[in-house]
Amino acid sequence: MRLLTGKTALVTGASRGIGRAVAQQLAHHGALVAIHYGRNETAAGETLTQITRAGGRAFLVRAELGTPDDAKTLFTHLEDALARHRTGPELDILVNNAGASGSARIHDVTPELFDRLFAVNAKAPLFLIQRGLKYLRDGGRIINISSAAATTAYPESLIYSMTKGALNTLTRALAKELAPRGITVNAVSPGYIETDMNAAKRTTPHTAAALAGASAFNRLGHPTDIADIVTFLATDHSRWITGQILDASGGTRL
């Protein structure tokens, strides 16, 4: 079933990893998908090609997040692109997936790391939502990609964990704020996923096995594992779920 036919979605950070898988799944179910990317146009183009070859509809939108006026830049480009597709500028689904990572314990944290991670992981989603609300139709969906690191002790990546905690707080507050418009706001919290972001943590068979062993299923998650959950939240099947932080860690550290 094409559950999202007639819907328009914006997925940030959709050039690879979880974002790419989410964009592919939403397009598979009939949505017109705006593939946002920051710098890697080649990877974003690959996402677009894979979607169109599979019969889906999508287009590229470039804007570097964590910079001044990033939300304004993104939505200006989005409006132009939607006009070229003779649709919009309304949105039905906003997926805040783009994120920056950085490992540092308390003694290694720097103001530069703090500012960069909060700019991309917390500030950008906040102002993308703020600006996007005038485009988002009543009954729309906002889905934030959080992390299991926000709800477990993860001192190795202190600031990253803090940014995802802020995103969870934003999710709950906006769920109540936007409920009168029928807009649901939820977050999905992955554990260890096979993406470029986690590549450095699985450089040897031993480290890869350790990460897989954190899950009750004894494997790393795949981007599609998360994309399927996001797709459910984007459909009408999830209409009675809002303000939730869905653990999508494969039973990590149960």
Active-site residue numbers? 160
Cβ partners under 8 Å of residue 128, min gap 6: 12, 65, 70, 71, 74, 75, 94, 96
Alpha carbons 41 and 106: distance in angstroms, whole number: 35
Would you say 221 and 248 are in contact if contact means Cβ atoms under 8 Å apart? yes
Alpha carbons 127 and 167: distance in angstroms, whole number: 12
Alpha carbons 15 and 22: distance in angstroms, whole number: 10
Alpha carbons 212 and 195: distance in angstroms, whole number: 13
Inter-CA distances, 110 with 65, 147, 154, 161, 252, Å: 20, 22, 17, 15, 29
